[in-house]
Amino acid sequence: MQRRRFLRAVGVGATTLAAGCLGFQPTADSYDVGMTAQAFRPREITVSVGDTVVWKNTSTRAHSVTAYEAALPLGADYFATGGFDTEQSARDAWDDNDGVITNGQTFGHRFEVAGEFPYFCIPHETAGMVGTVIVEE
């Protein structure tokens, strides 16, 4: 994904420049969507067919990335942290901490079909922690 490569290069360059002044080592930290206490940042992201979106839990709370199954484009693969095949199975498993990603963990999904992919965080859905991946040809 060109945008991610550009951001990584700019971020590493700026970090490397600051590292010489501040005495710390840069890290390669590449993700597309971060998770705050109750929000995905950015809330909406646009990618191309074949791209992989990477989510990273950047907060101290446990989160999930769970697709709204009924809203997925025709022919699209379902996605959820924990590898569940359906939205209901992801919701049912949450109470057992299945599908949880904690601080610093990532989850990625490759999008093979164009369209809009709405998703949410199971424990923070009612607080408005929802997002959309828009996949273009």
Strand partners, 130: 120
Q: Provide CATH code, domain 31-136.
A: 2.60.40.420
Phi–psi pair at 69, nearest 5 degrees: -55, -45
User: How far apart are the C-alpha atoms of 80 and 121, rounded to whole Å?
Assistant: 10
Give the number of C-alpha atoms closer than 13 A to the C-alpha of residue 127, restricted to the C-beta side. 11
A 10 A CB-CB count for 93 gives 17
- Do 114 and 136 contact (CB within 8 A), yes or no? yes
Q: What per-residue confidence (pLDDT) applies to 29?
A: 65
Considering only 6-15, 68-77, 103-112, 120-129, which range has the smallest mean pLDDT?
6-15
What would the pLDDT profile of 90-107 be if each residue is shown by its tens digit? 999 998 889 999 999 999
pTM of the model: 0.79
Check residue 94 and give its pLDDT: 93
The 3-state DSSP class for residue 91 equals helix
Q: Where are the domains of the chain?
A: 1-30, 31-136
